[in-house]
Amino acid sequence: MSSANLSLWVQVQTCSIFSHSSRSRSPNCSMINSLPRMPISFLSPRARKPSTTSSFVTISAVHVAKEEEERLKEGEISVMETGFNFKAYMLEKGASVNEALEVAVSLKDPLKIHEAMRYSLLAGGKRVRPILCIAACELVGGDESTAMPAACSVEMIHTMSLIHDDLPCMDNDDLRRGKPSNHKVFGENIAVLAGDALLAFAFEHIVRATVGVPPARIVRVVEELAKVVGTEGLVAGQVVDIGSTGLSDVGLEQLEFIHIHKTAALLEGSVVIGAILGGGSDEQIERLRKFARSIGLLFQVVDDILDVTKSSKELGKTAGKDLLADKITYPKLLGLEKSRELAEKLNKEANKELSGFDPETAAPLIALANYIAYRQN
C-alpha cells in the first residue's frame, strides 16, 4: 500500500457510530504546548476494615485473555477490511501483555499487598496503553520484547491511577472493570499502598527488565514517565479537576487542560516511550507525540459521551457518576452532538500525524485510534 493511499485507507476502515445529523463546525480544540499528563492520590485514606475475598484475588492472565476474546467476539472490535486483522492483533498483543504482567507482579510476602496489586492489575481491561507502547516501538523499527517491560510499567501506572481515583476521598467509585473497586475488597489503607507499590515498581521494572537498549534511552524513558505522573501530568489534571467540581464557569480551555493532563498524558507517554525504546528519530517521536496527544484527548471525549449514553453494566463502571458529582464534561459543556463532532475531529488529526509513516507498519496505530474513537465501553 502506498503512502498516497493512506488517507483513503483510513476512511475505508472508519465505520462511525457517531450521529452525522448535524454538520456544524466543531469547536476549536487548542492543544496545549508540550507534553501534558493523569490522576493520582497520595492522600491519607480513612480507615476501613479489609474485606478480602479469595474469589476476588485468584485472577490469571489466561482468564483475562478469555474475557477479552469474548468481548471481541461480541463485535466490540471488528476485523478491518483492509488486510489488517485488528481483532487478531489485539488478542495477540493483549495476551502477551497479560502474561508479562502475571510474571512481573507475582504473589510473595507480604501476601496481602501483592494480592491487592494483582487484583486490580490483572482484572482485565483493554490494555490500550501497553499495546500503544508496543505498536509505537515496532513502527520505528523496534520489537515487542524491547518494549514489553515499559508497556507493563505503563499499565502498572494506569492501574495505580484507577485504584486511587476510585477512593472515597477522590471519585468515590465502588465499581471498576465490572468488579468491586480495590478499596471495597481490601480496604482504603491497603488500596492506597497497592497503588503506591505499583507506581514504584513500574520504574524499577523498566530499569531492571529492559534489555538491549542503550542506557541513555532508558533514562529518557524514565524521565518521560516521571513527568506523566507528577505535577506536569496526572497530579496536575487531578488537582484542577477537583478544584473545578461544582463550578459553573468552567470553559473549554480549562476542561482541555484537565483531560490533556489527567487522561491524555499517559496515552501520550505510552506512545512516546515506545518510540524512544525502538530507536525512533526526534522527528518521528514528535509526530507520534502529537498523534498520541490527539487520541488521548479523544479517549476522554468518548469516555464522557459513553458516561451519559451507556449503562453501568455496559461500561463496567458506574455510569453517570460525573453528572452526579457535578463535574464538567464535554457533553455537559458542548452538548452530545458537538462532543461527537469533536471526537471525529480529533481522530482525523491523529491519523494525519501518521501520514508520513509506512501505511502497513502504521496500521496498528491507525486501527487503535479508530478503536478509541468508536469503542462502546
Q: pLDDT digits over 59-108, tens only?
A: 444 444 454 455 444 334 444 445 789 999 999 999 999 999 999 999 99
CB 41 within 8 A of CB 164: yes
Torsion angle of the four alpha carbons 258, 261, 267, 270, in this order, in degrees rounded to the nearest 10: -170
Angle formed by the axes of helices 61-73 and 86-104, to 10°? 160
Cell readout for 114 is: 501483592
Cell readout for 148 is: 514489553
Contacts for 204 with CB less than 8 Å, ≥ 6 apart: none
The predicted structure's pLDDT at residue 39: 34
Q: Is residue 194 predicted with pLDDT exceeding 50?
A: yes
Torsion angle of the four alpha carbons 360, 361, 365, 366, in this order, in degrees rounded to the nearest 10: -20
Cell readout for 365 is: 496505530
The radius of gyration of the chain from alpha carbons, rounded to an integer in Å, stands at: 19
Mean pLDDT of 283-294: 97
The predicted structure's pLDDT at residue 248: 80
Q: How far is CA 111 from CA 52, 56, 62, in A?
A: 12, 14, 21
Most confident of 8-12, 15-19, 278-282: 278-282
Q: Which amino acid is at 344?
A: E
Q: Report how far residue 247's alpha carbon sits from residue 239's, in angstroms, rounded to the nearest whole number.
A: 14
Q: Which residue has the higher pLDDT, 212 or 377?
A: 212
Q: Is residue 11 predicted with pLDDT exceeding 90?
A: no
CB atoms within 10 A of CB 373: 24
Tell me the torsion sign for CA atoms 59, 63, 65, 67: negative
The ranges assigned to domains in the chain are 34-41+50-374
Nearest to 332 by CA among 343, 320, 349: 320
CA atoms within 13 A on the CB side of 220: 16
φ/ψ (deg, to 5) at 142:
-85, -175
pLDDT tens, position by position, 294-338: 999 999 999 999 988 877 776 666 766 666 667 788 998 899 999
The predicted structure's pLDDT at residue 319: 67
Q: Which residue has the higher pLDDT, 222 or 318?
A: 222
Lowest mean per-residue pLDDT among 150-154, 253-257, 291-295, 321-325:
321-325
Cell readout for 95 is: 495476551
CB 330 within 8 A of CB 255: yes
CB 155 within 8 A of CB 131: no
CB 229 within 8 A of CB 235: yes
| Site of grid cell 505522573 | 229
Q: Report how far residue 231's alpha carbon sits from residue 234's, in angstroms, rounded to the nearest whole number.
A: 7
| Site of grid cell 487484583 | 119
ω before 27 within 30° of 0 (cis)?
no
CB atoms within 10 A of CB 220: 16
Q: Is residue 13 predicted with pLDDT exceeding 70?
A: no
What is 34-41+50-374's CATH number, 2.40.128.110, 2.160.20.10, 1.10.600.10, 1.10.287.3510? 1.10.600.10
Nearest to 175 by CA among 327, 314, 373: 314
Task: Tell the burial category of 209 from Cβ atoms under 10 Å away from its Cβ (0-12, 13-18, 19+).
Answer: middle
Cell readout for 354 is: 501518521
- What letters, b where the CB count within 10 A reaches 16 and e where it falls short, cover 172-191? ebebbbbbbbbbbbbbbbbb
Q: What is the mean pLDDT of the chain?
A: 81
| Site of grid cell 491497603 | 190
Beta bridge partners of 175: 180
